[in-house]
Amino acid sequence: MQNELLQETQHSYYDYVVKIEGGCQQIANNLRTGKQVEAFEMIADLSEGVEWLITVEKHMLEKHYRINSCLNDMIDMLKEVSQALEIGDSVTVADLFEYEIAPMFMSASEWTFEKIEN
């Protein structure tokens, strides 16, 4: 049962993480085409999703599974996004999503959890 739950959690992680690159592009496009409300909703959803991914990574590590992801780098980028949003600089926010964050997830389909020794 527990092993099955671990596998389901890993699959959910993989399913979500591979969608981030496209989501980042869509956020950038929405910001550039005046669809601020949609972009901000997507940014909020993405932030929640990243929190969930980090939680999964922590729990998987407790179960001796490790993954090489770029989530720590993304957290730094989201701080920059937040600072740009605070001053209303949607051009910088769009650029961050398109040129900084999205490329981090280009290889996300290759990320896998690996069992590590206790």
116 in any annotated domain: no
Distance CA 65, CA 58 (A): 9
Torsion from C-alpha of 55, 56, 61, 62, nearest 10 degrees: 70
In tens digits, the chain (118 residues) has pLDDT values of 678 989 999 999 999 999 999 999 999 999 999 999 999 999 999 999 999 999 999 999 999 999 999 998 999 999 999 999 999 999 999 999 999 999 999 999 999 999 998 6
114 in any annotated domain: no
97 in any annotated domain: yes
∠ CA 44-12-42 to the nearest 5 degrees?
15
Residue 62 has a pLDDT of 93
Start-to-end CA distance of the chain, whole Å, equals 20
28 in any annotated domain: yes
18 in any annotated domain: yes
113 in any annotated domain: no
Note down the domain range covering 11: 2-107
Residue 3 has a pLDDT of 86
Total domains in the chain come to 1
112 in any annotated domain: no
Q: Widest CA span of the chain, in angstroms? A: 51
Q: Are 24 and 97 in contact (CB under 8 A)?
A: yes
Strand pairing report for 65-66 and 114-115: antiparallel
31 in any annotated domain: yes
